[in-house]
Structure 1
Amino acid sequence: MTARSARRLAATALAAALALSAAACSRPADGGASTAAGAADSVVVGMANEPETLSPLLGYGKDGNSKIFDGLLTHDADMKLRPALATTLPTVSADGLTYTFTLRPGVKFSDGTPFTAEDVVFTYRTILDPKTNNPSKSELDAVGSVVRKGTDQVVFTLKYPYAPFAERTVLPIAPKHLAGTQDVNTGPFTTAPVGTGPYVLTRWSKGEKLSFTANPHYWGGAPTVKKFTMAVIKDDDVRATRLRAGELDGAILPPNLARGFGKGQGRTVLAAKSFDYRNVTLPTHHRVTGDLAVRRALDLAVDRRAMVDGILEGAGKPAYGPVPTDSPWFTAGTERRHDLPAARGILDAAGWKPGPDGIRVRDGVRASFTLWYTTGDKLRQDHALAFASDARKAGIEVRTEAGTWEVIEPRMKTEAVLAGGGSPADPDFDQYLLLNSALGGDGFNNMARYDNPAVDRALDAARRSGDHAVRKAAYDTVQRELVKNPGYVFLTHIDHLYVVSDRRPGLTTQVEPHDHGLGSGPWWNVEKWQPAK
């Protein structure tokens, strides 16, 4: 879901292959040390996907909680910013253009090398370098310069007063002495990183697991959980099976599988509120999905409430755009009703007439297109099938296909995708990448190649203003334009459900973005976990 690096998943195996390889995740590894679930000082959790890289210079951990690294700032349980590698929140100039950070003394990277201001300057300058393949570099567009001031301060000067800039500084800091001596895009640091965080990567078996040990010299205090393993189990059913077998201490699961772990089984189901949405891309370069009438009809034909009740079993809410309805950024009045007669009327008026088989035709073109979803992801599959069913009632044929991202990505220009996105930090963080026409076709950014000048102007106005009222008005414009010209059909906002062992009581979650993984879920603060008494 610039390419949204967290959505660039590693090649996915079929469910059977996953089941065969999954057992290896619980066997002793890493020099004979057991990574099995149940040990007092170890945790094994199941994740649905894995990152493509572990280098923050290429986009890894940009939203914080990477476990290997720290940013200047981090988020607490309530998603409020607090200091990490900085000693305090930044000092901001009256014009909103200068941010000064004072760095925490005595911090070292896990290899023993001292952390310095040079590492901060190196990290941000490298990301902004045109030669660096960071798919999210446009998120730092406001940065004009970053310089060291003395030995313990870093000063950012912005090109315009970018209101959410402090949120961007949760971005992990990379060590200049290592990452700066090799090819930033292909060097060994991309898979064998060194950071200042609470955990040290000991092994990454691609497609199988990531193994970590506690950093005994962590500036925040040595973690009680000494071994932390993320088992990569793409298939939802396989993940649930391994959890039930006791091979995992916790895992993320879709609602229909999470509900199977009731009380009395030694496990607890935790729900994390999120900004995570599922939507259908409507490629502008397709003769059917590129037609405005078809887009508007599909937006009214879908029964979002039925998807929430049936697919999510109530663990979510209808989505009418990238902003959840309970967010202060949501624009009241942009809710779309489920109105099949209105959808049919739009298509009739545009000349899309029902054919003998009920599928509409105009100028010899059948109202038919392919919708891809990722293999093994039951939530996406169920959303895709429900969308196809609703579309057919309006006379539009949607052919659903499953595949890996490697299969899907080359087809995104002309074929629809059951996609996802969402960020709770600030509307700019998701909407700019999702809707800006300049990013159409740029990896997983603007997958539909949506092109709306009014939206482009509003996104730029919101990004360049420090005035909340101006920004709110701009995002209101974006949401209203999506009603008139829906380049995507937003379906649901999803609560993330996690099943965790009762031997880890008192666990919490944060409000989560779409790209959940190593640093999300109940293990967002695993370095603070304490054993049950």
Structure 2
Amino acid sequence: MNRKTLVLPAVVGLLAPVLAACGGSDSGSGSGDPIRVGTTDTFTATKDAPAPVDPAYAYDVGTWNILRQTVQTLMVQPKGEGDPVPEAAQSCGFTDSGNERYACKLRSGLKFSNGDSITAEDVKYSIERALRIKADSGVFALLSTIDTVEAKGDDEVIFHLKTADATFPYKLSTPVAGIVNPKDYEKDKLRDGFDVDGSGPYTFQADVDGDHIVSATFTKNPNYKGALKVNNDKVVMKSFASADAMGDAIDKGDIDVMTRAMTPSQINKLDAGKDKAVDLVEMPGLEIRYLAFNTNANSVKTKAVRQAMAQIIDRSELVSKVYGTQAEPLYSLVPATITGHSNSFFNKYGDPSVSKAKTMLERAGITTPVRITLHYTTDHYGAASKQEFEILEKQLNKSGLFDVDIKGSPWTTFRPAEQKGQYDVYGMGWFPDFADADNYLAPFLDKDNFLGSPYANSDIRNTLIPESRREADRQAASKSLTEIQDIVAEDVPVIPLWQGKQYVAARDDITGTAYALNSSSTLQLWELGRGVS
């Protein structure tokens, strides 16, 4: 029987956790054959990115999903969403009224997978290593509010922050804050290749062909101590060149679970119940897609050009033609389900209008049509990306104000070129590090931002982001968050396009699929098990 399960979204709000112990749970006793999981994520080591799975470098959903299974963090997102809870820690919390001192006490008996004991010094080493290396992926910026890290005895770690940061517990749940063994990870150098060692629920072994991972085996770590219950002994994850190939594999029974990214047509087919042996699970998703600008590039340096594009693009048409009910138009970097969201782009631009866009360009003295290339990645955000950009191209060219073409590149080429500022306009996706408005704003707008964007607004960086982080009650931060979103709609360093749902497909003897992904697209392999077909 095909069934579609909708997991209701949690109420999103961030409260500062208190110092309360959270006991670990014993691992489950998985049995039978390994659970086989398919993905279209690619894992490649290149000259520009030779260390794709080092916690101090990795900053995309695919590599983070490897690290979340293998490298333990002090905090973790709980089953069913909500505020983070202790994982490698026994307890964590702010110890001052200003949210500037955060202390964690480690669980007793923590060990790396090789049996080495974990101490507070190892945690300190791991955090300081990521900050010291300052990888060009920009992931270290998640830890940018840390001033110093103090190891007190063997089991207490104290973080002294530069400024108040109510989101800090969430940041400690991300892989960049993962605990690594100093024996395996040098202090000042990234670890090249695909070896991963940690203290998480699984150990990791990659099957590598040349410079990329073909498949990866996750084996239950006998030394793991933490908050997660592991419901299987082994998971094998295979990387497929296309969603169609992945779909063929689940139809044949070669894999048990299909994760990101399925095509819209595959989802529609499964939703219709045409495959009785495979179940589709729909979950709330916080993924967003957007256009980003190199605001120093001649073609889009003038704000009016970016504003005119924002005025022309028809999100509703884009979503309906490509994704249907699987996505919704988005008018801010912050998704509609996140506390602090504001429809700032709709408030400013309203419905699409060529005449308004024309007036904007005329007032700025811009000669039309404006010649622009829209760049997108062919293999990182799903097979529908090309169709999405074809529609954007058509919308902008139909206005007569732009002369647009599109160009697709594989992620291994696209991402380094984007980071080096080689693209004037390019399409990106964002899977949140944690479900808070700050994580949809600071990574794009703060210093050392994820995009390497030259756009800088002093009010956002120096006043509004710090103000919003002082508020443990995230509703109270809404005024500052709304101001940030309004400035973005005015200056247009990015154009938000849509936010999407997420799906898992599994053969009907697989259990735990409702929790296989959380709202931040974290793959939780430990939730999967085998039942009765």
What TM-score comes out, normalization by structure 1 length? 0.80
Post-superposition CA distance 1:27-62 (Å, at most 9, x none): xxxxxxxxxxxx943122222224552222334677
Name the residue aligned to 2:181. Answer: 176
Alpha-carbon distance in 2 for matches of 1:131, 1:483: 30
1:315 to 1:433, Cα distance in 2 relative to 1, 3 A: same
List aligned pairs for 1:204-223, cutoff 5 A.
204-205=207-208, 206-220=212-226, 223=230
Which amino acid in structure 2 is aligned with residue 200 of structure 1? Answer: T
Name the residue aligned to 1:165. Answer: 168
SS in 1 for 2:324: coil
- Alpha-carbon distance, 1:165 to partner: 0.7
Task: Say which of 371, 381, 385 aligns to 2:390.
Answer: 385
Name the residue aligned to 1:326. Answer: 337
SS in 2 for 1:66: helix
- Alpha-carbon distance, 1:407 to partner: 3.0
Name the residue aligned to 2:247. Answer: 240
Task: Say which of 124, 127, 130 aligns to 2:127.
Answer: 124
Name the residue aligned to 1:97. Answer: 100
Post-superposition CA distance 1:472-529 (Å, at most 9, x none): 222111111122221222111111222211111342145433xx4xx42xxx1x3243
Name the residue aligned to 1:420. Answer: 429
Alpha-carbon distance in 1 for matches of 2:137, 2:95: 27
Count of aligned pairs between the two proteins: 470
Name the residue aligned to 1:338. Answer: 351
Contact 1:72–1:169, Cα closer than 8 Å, also in 2: yes
Which amino acid in structure 1 is aligned with residue 101 of structure 2? Answer: T
**Is 1:479–2:490 an aligned residue pair?**
no
1:343 to 1:324, Cα distance in 2 relative to 1, 3 A: same
Name the residue aligned to 2:189. Answer: 185
1:407 to 1:63, Cα distance in 2 relative to 1, 3 A: closer
- Alpha-carbon distance, 1:183 to partner: 6.1
Note the aligned Cα RMSD (angstroms). Answer: 2.8
- Alpha-carbon distance, 1:343 to partner: 3.8
Contact 1:98–1:157, Cα closer than 8 Å, also in 2: yes
Contact 1:432–1:459, Cα closer than 8 Å, also in 2: no
Name the residue aligned to 1:55. Answer: 54
- Alpha-carbon distance, 1:123 to partner: 0.7
Name the residue aligned to 1:6. Answer: none
Unaligned segments of structure 2, at least 5 residues? 1-30, 44-50
Seq. identity, % = 19
Post-superposition CA distance 1:434-486 (Å, at most 9, x none): 123x447xxx5244x33334433455434652364663222111111122221
SS in 1 for 2:435: coil
List aligned pairs for 1:21-100, cutoff 5 A.
40-51=32-43, 53-59=52-58, 66-80=68-82, 81-100=84-103
- Alpha-carbon distance, 1:415 to partner: 2.8
- Alpha-carbon distance, 1:149 to partner: 1.5
SS in 1 for 2:286: coil
List aligned pairs for 1:315-464, cutoff 5 A.
315-332=326-343, 334-335=345-346, 336-347=349-360, 349-350=362-363, 362=367, 366-376=369-379, 377-395=382-400, 396-408=402-414, 409-410=416-417, 412-423=421-432, 424-436=434-446, 438-439=447-448, 444-447=450-453, 449-462=454-467
Please say which of residues 70-79 and 240-249 is displaced more in the overlay. Answer: 240-249
SS in 1 for 2:510: coil
Task: Say which of 142, 148, 152 aligns to 2:145.
Answer: 142
- Alpha-carbon distance, 1:104 to partner: 0.6
Name the residue aligned to 1:290. Answer: 301
Name the residue aligned to 2:286. Answer: 275
Name the residue aligned to 2:26. Answer: none
Contact 2:334–2:441, Cα closer than 8 Å, also in 1: no
Contact 2:125–2:182, Cα closer than 8 Å, also in 1: no
Please say which of residues 342-351 and 377-386 is displaced more in the overlay. Answer: 342-351
Contact 1:334–1:480, Cα closer than 8 Å, also in 2: yes
Alpha-carbon distance in 1 for matches of 2:398, 2:370: 12
Which amino acid in structure 2 is aligned with residue 256 of structure 1? Answer: S
SS in 1 for 2:514: coil
SS in 2 for 1:420: strand
Post-superposition CA distance 1:143-195 (Å, at most 9, x none): 11111212221111111111111111114433334235x3653446x622221
Contact 1:202–1:211, Cα closer than 8 Å, also in 2: yes
Contact 2:344–2:489, Cα closer than 8 Å, also in 1: no
- Alpha-carbon distance, 1:254 to partner: 2.6
Alpha-carbon distance in 1 for matches of 2:448, 2:148: 23
1:47 to 1:465, Cα distance in 2 relative to 1, 3 A: same
Unaligned segments of structure 1, at least 5 residues? 1-38, 353-360
1:56 to 1:106, Cα distance in 2 relative to 1, 3 A: same
What TM-score comes out, normalization by structure 2 length? 0.80
Contact 1:72–1:171, Cα closer than 8 Å, also in 2: no
Contact 1:64–1:70, Cα closer than 8 Å, also in 2: no
- Alpha-carbon distance, 1:427 to partner: 2.3
SS in 1 for 2:56: helix
Name the residue aligned to 1:111. Answer: 114
Task: Say which of 491, 501, 504 aligns to 2:510.
Answer: 504
